[in-house]
């Protein structure tokens, strides 16, 4: 499912028009991204939790040459599904 299909389903479920639903969906994802950029956790009860995790610096290998390289430390966004979502699967 892409953003357009998700927006149409939200519009149908909420009696909104497609344009307003798409704006609402995009606003939700923008707020989740903004919170992640600030290092905050976003928890949606019954759905799951978005958290920011640190990835330490590590050694890796260049696949084409086999040369060892340094991979810099970074951050990643992780999603943990809530029990309610897991039960639906």
List pLDDT tens digits, range 21-63.
999 999 999 999 999 999 999 999 999 999 999 999 999 999 9
pLDDT of residue 84: 92
What's the pLDDT score for residue 28? 95
Q: Which of 45, 47, 44, 36 is nearest to 78 (CA)?
A: 36
Contact 49, 78 (CB under 8 A): no
Q: Strands (DSSP E) along 3-87, which ranges?
A: 42-44, 48-55, 58-61, 68-71, 74-81
């Amino acid at each position: 499912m892409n953003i357009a299909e998700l927006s149409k389903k939200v519009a149908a479920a909420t009696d909104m028009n497609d344009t307003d639903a798409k704006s609402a969906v995009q606003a939700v994802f923008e707020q989740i991204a903004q919170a992640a950029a600030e290092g905050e956790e976003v928890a949606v009860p019954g759905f799951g939790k978005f958290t920011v995790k640190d990835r330490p610096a590590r050694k890796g290998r260049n696949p084409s040459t086999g040369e060892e390289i340094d991979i810099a430390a970074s951050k990643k966004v992780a999603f943990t599904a809530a029990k309610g979502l897991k039960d639906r699967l």
